[in-house]
Homo-oligomer: A and B are copies of this chain.
Amino acid sequence: MTDMPIDPSRIESDNAKRNPDLEADYAALGDQLDRRGISIDAIVQAVRGFKVAVPSWGVGTGGTRFARFPGPGEPRGIMEKLDDCAVIQQLGRATPSVSLHIPWDRTDPAALKEKAQGLGLTFDAMNSNTFQDHPDDPKQPLSYKYGSLSHADKAVRTQAIEHNLEVIEFGQAIGSTAITVWIGDGSNFPGQVDLARSFERYLESAKAIYRALPEDWRLFTEHKMYEPAFYASVVQDWGTNLLIAQELGTKAFCLVDLGHHAPNVNIEQIVSRLIFAEKLGGFHFNDSKYGDDDLDAGSIDPFRLFLVFNELVEAGDALSRLHPAHMIDQSHNVTDPIESLIRSADEIRRAYAQALLVDRAALRGFQDENDPLMASECLKRAFRTDVSPILAKARSMDGGAIDPIATYRASGYRNRIAEQRPAAAGSRSGIV
């Protein structure tokens, strides 16, 4: 892997400095887990096997409708995005695959595949885009201002369907096996669209896409309560998402973005219900306090993230049948996106590792005996365990950095690309 953006010797030397402390902490944690009947090495192995995809759009600085404040070295195209993704994977070793967004990442598929292989990356689920207009795309002359797959005008629906088919075709060329369909369709005012008819039109369009799905592909539909639509979104919640997946068929699944729900909603329970219905397709991980804030996973409510993973671990066999996709979907407005993605992937692994520590036999006993306090403590004991040494060990065993943020900063990568990638003019303003 000679294309690696960070000099491997830097990682090695940094790790050498940090290894003694890691070994001490790892040994102490190992002792403690041993007393709890848990093999720390087994947990490390499980963590090493856990991967999460990064979104190509996540390595650029995000923004709000008010403003976007780019940082130095913003990637100017998918090839530079892949370089940044490679840094994330090289240091963190949790993110070997990238999720693309068409038309943003449209390019020659063969070149893309070659570039990715050189960086040790593969491609996860594809994403279509019919929530923006694409004035430069000759295949998408019609506007999505009033919807796409559910638009009142059949011509717009057809254009949106064709776009999705193109995305699938592109995905096939680069080895992807899934497409995620998120639309912004909806309405801002009561009456603007007929809630029933627009849903029926959406289903008709989704069925057309589904029919074109290759045999070994999965179709993920994603629900979201609001934004960009502020009165009613066509695919507003998991109930509607479930109806869609049921209508489409056995290759259709529901994607859960942690930030797309109403206030106070119990997300881990939705995960459990979708597993029951055999329709859990995967996740868009992030964290949020208010709406679809798209903050770094685990940064606002780490216990909630743990509880989601507790459901996944608890599901056991049912889950292995579903093998849900793990993807990050975040907007990095104030941090270096590479750093945010490294630590977010780590936080997601942290929640997974903690969930693996739950004493499930004891938990089941507390549940069957109606002992809420001990059941609650059983989960919290696992959550409280500082599994940082496990995560660091997993990284270092796979060639990553014990302290990936520190090593990244010391590498000077950001400064280097800032010189290579001049800032685009006029990119600072937002929309109000």
Measured CB to CB, the residues of A under 8 A from B are 21, 24-25, 28, 31-32, 35, 57, 62-69, 131-133, 135, 143-146, 152, 184, 187-197, 199-200, 225-228, 230-232, 236-240, 242-243, 261-266, 268-270, 272-273, 275-277, 288-291, 293, 295-296, 298-304, 307, 310-311, 314-315, 331, 333-336, 339-340, 343, 363-364, 366-370, 372-380, 383-386, 388, 405, 426, 428-432
Contacts and interface: CB of A to CB of B under 8 A. Distances in A.
A133 B67 contact: yes
Give the number of times this chain occurs in the complex, counting copies. 4
A334 B264 contact: no
A384 B378 contact: no
A152 B375 CA distance: 14
A373 to B, nearest CB: 5
Nearest to A57: B432
B431 A195 contact: no
Nearest to A318: B196
Nearest to A27: B28
Given A268-B195, A386-B386, A189 B132 contact: no
Given A62-B431, A63-B65, A227-B64, A315 B189 contact: no
Given A334-B188, A370-B152, A196 B303 contact: no
Contacts of A133: 67, 69, 428-429
Contacts of A132: 66-67, 428-430
13 contacts: A24-B32, A28-B28, A28-B31, A65-B331, A68-B431, A69-B145, A189-B376, A191-B310, A226-B293, A230-B289, A232-B269, A264-B290, A303-B303
Contact of A265 (B143, B262, B379): B262
Contacts of A369: 152
Contact of A196 (B192, B275, B339): B275
Contacts of A131: 66-67
Contacts of A242: 239, 242-243
Nearest to A298: B380
Contacts of A301: 301, 303-304
With most chain B CB atoms within 10 A of its CB, the pick from A133, A226, A239 is A239
B289 A290 contact: no
Q: Which are the 9 A-B pairs with shortest beta-carbon distances? A: A239-B239, A262-B262, A28-B28, A69-B145, A189-B376, A230-B293, A191-B375, A191-B379, A195-B272
